[in-house]
């Protein structure tokens, strides 16, 4: 399946599983070390077609074709420049994740197997206007040390080496945030997995290879 078909499937999955809504959000994939495809401005993620993508050169940001790329293109470019291992970027505003992004509640990774793995490295950036260079610079910097970046009062951007893993990372984040919020609302105290057990899981359990990032 080619890159655009994979992104079309990803957009459909995100809408079907309440990981995105309406025209809020954008997704992209690296074609090679020089190019990426990103959703065009104003596209509806659940109804993407093959002509709903713009091609951009990663180094210069120049675009090819007639489609106008998403206004959030600058931070996608910044992530790809700083993380050559990244192949897919998903930006959206899922309900529970966005609720956490609008609060000071910490996102815990020590809850269950998937959060230990996929939420091992979560970073935060302050609110900047969508499409601004300030937002792009902040996210690109945090991408050096994380695979999930929470955008305060905005949403989240996750990235991984392929579509399947990026979706799993996003879905795990939303599940983790939902667990935290509903536990607090129900008065159920959460019991975190001890840090030494988390470390053993990540280093010794052979669950999955840990994903790269710059320390």
What's the pLDDT tens digit per position in 36-86?
999 999 899 999 999 999 999 999 999 987 789 999 999 999 999 999 999
What's the pLDDT tens digit per position in 97-148?
999 999 999 999 999 999 999 999 999 999 999 999 999 999 999 999 999 9
Residue 119 structure tokens: 């939420």
Residue 93 lies in a domain: yes
Determine the 3-state secondary structure of 102 from DSSP: coil
Distance of CA 206 to the CA centre of its chain: 24
Alpha-carbon distance values, 154 to 98, 129, 176, 181 (Å): 7, 9, 18, 18
Residue 213 lies in a domain: no
pTM of this prediction?
0.95
Please choose, from the candidates 136, 207, 214, the residue with its C-alpha nearest in 3D space to the C-alpha of residue 172.
207
Domain that holds residue 87: 3-204
Question: Which range, of 59-73, 123-137, 150-164, 166-180, averages the lowest pLDDT?
Answer: 59-73
Can you tell me the distance from the alpha carbon of 146 to that of 44, in angstroms, rounded to the nearest whole number?
28
Among the listed residues 34, 55, 72, 134, the single catalytic one is 72
Residue 137 lies in a domain: yes
Per-residue pLDDT, 215: 44
Alpha-carbon distance values, 79 to 44, 58, 72, 141 (Å): 23, 10, 12, 8
Per-residue pLDDT, 64: 83
CB distance 40 to 106 below 8 Å:
no
Residue 27 structure tokens: 């997704």
* CATH code at position 150: 3.40.225.10
Dihedrals φ, ψ of 21, to 5°?
-155, 145
Residue 209 lies in a domain: no
The position carrying tokens 């790269």 is: 212
Per-residue pLDDT, 205: 83
Please choose, from the candidates 64, 126, 138, the residue with its C-alpha nearest in 3D space to the C-alpha of residue 101.
126
Residue 198 lies in a domain: yes
The position carrying tokens 């996750």 is: 158
Domain count across the chain: 1
Determine the 3-state secondary structure of 57 from DSSP: strand
Can you tell me the distance from the alpha carbon of 53 to that of 135, in angstroms, rounded to the nearest whole number?
22
Residue 214 lies in a domain: no
Residue 99 lies in a domain: yes
Residue 182 structure tokens: 């509903």
Would residue 47 show up in a list of annotated catalytic residues for this protein?
no
CB distance 127 to 152 below 8 Å:
yes
Burial of 46 (0-12, 13-18, 19+ CB in 10 A): middle
The position carrying tokens 């991984």 is: 160
Residue 211 lies in a domain: no
């Amino acid at each position: 399946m080619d890159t655009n078909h994979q992104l079309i499937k990803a957009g459909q999955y995100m809408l079907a599983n309440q990981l995105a809504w309406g025209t809020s959000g954008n997704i992209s994939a690296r074609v090679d070390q020089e190019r990426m495809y990103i959703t065009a401005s104003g596209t509806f993620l659940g109804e993407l077609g093959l002509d709903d993508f713009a091609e951009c050169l990663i180094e210069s940001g120049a675009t090819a074709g007639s489609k106008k790329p998403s206004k959030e293109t600058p931070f996608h470019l910044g992530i790809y420049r700083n993380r050559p291992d990244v192949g897919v970027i998903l930006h959206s505003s899922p309900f529970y994740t966005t609720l956490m992004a609008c609060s000071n509640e910490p996102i815990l990774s020590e809850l269950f197997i998937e959060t230990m793995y996929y939420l091992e490295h979560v970073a935060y950036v302050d609110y900047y206007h969508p499409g601004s260079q300030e937002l792009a610079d902040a996210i690109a910097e945090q991408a050096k040390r994380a695979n999930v970046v929470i955008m305060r009062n905005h949403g989240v951007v996750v990235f991984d080496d392929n579509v399947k893993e990026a979706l799993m990372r996003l879905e795990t984040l939303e599940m983790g945030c939902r667990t935290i919020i509903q536990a607090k609302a129900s008065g159920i105290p959460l019991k975190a997995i001890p840090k030494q057990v988390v470390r053993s899981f990540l280093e010794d359990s052979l669950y999955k290879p840990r994903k790269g990032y710059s320390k």
